[in-house]
Amino acid sequence: MILRRDRAMTAVLIMLDVAFYAGRAGTVSAADIAERSGLVRRGIEPLLQALSRSGLLESIRGPRGGYKLGRPRRDISLVSIISAVAGDDQAEDGTAPGPLLQRVIEPCWAEYEETLTEKMEQTTLDDLVRRAEKSGLKRPLSEPITFSI
C-alpha cells in the first residue's frame, strides 16, 4: 500500500472529490474531477473503472451522467478505496532479497503497514469530507435534508 502511494492517493482524491462535490444524489464527471485535481482525464480513467468495478463508485451514462458514490460515504474506508485500486501494486519489484532485507527491513515494514492499515480502516470518506469542510472548502451545491427510516 505504501510503496505505490501515488496511485492510492489519487484514488482517495477521486473518491473525496465525488463525495464532496456530488453530494448524496448528484453526479460528477470525469472531466470535472480531472480539472479540479489537476490530473489528466486519461490518467484517472483506469482508477475510475477500478473503483466502479469494486462498487465504491457508480457510473451513470447519458447527458447528466458521471460518477456517484456506490455506498454511503460513512461506509467507505480508506483501506477499501486503496484495496480497490492496489491490484498490481503488491507485486515484487525484482529486488534481490538479502539477509538484512528479509530479517530486518521486511518485518519492520510489515509492522508499519499493519499499523497504517488499522488507522486507515478507521478513517472513512465521511471523515475526509468533514476535514474538507473544516478547512474552508465550499461545495458548489447545497445538499437537501433527507431522512430515511
Identity (one letter) of the amino acid at 14? I
Rounded to an integer, what distance in angstroms lies between the CA atom of residue 7 and that of residue 127? Answer: 20
Residue in the structure block whose three cell numbers are 448528484: 26
**Domain residue spans in the chain?**
5-134
Q: Which residues contact 99 (CB under 8 A, 6 or more apart)?
A: none
For residue 11, the tally of other CB atoms under 10 A from its CB is 24
pTM of model > 0.85: no
The fold adopted by the segment(s) 5-134 is: Arc Repressor Mutant, subunit A (1.10.10)
Give tens-digit pLDDT for 118-130.
999 999 999 999 9
Mean pLDDT of the chain: 85
Q: Which three cell numbers stand for residue 24?
A: 448524496
Give tens-digit pLDDT for 132-144.
999 999 877 555 5
Give tens-digit pLDDT for 6-63.
888 899 999 999 999 987 678 999 999 999 999 999 999 999 999 999 999 999 988 8
Q: What phi, psi does 139 have (nearest 5°)?
A: -85, 145
Specify the pLDDT at position 2.
47
Q: How far is CA 35 from CA 31, 120, 148, in A?
A: 6, 27, 34
Strand partners for 60: 66
State CA 65 to chain mean position distance.
20
Which whole number is the average pLDDT over 70-97? 79
Confidence of residue 145 (pLDDT cuts 50, 70, 90): low
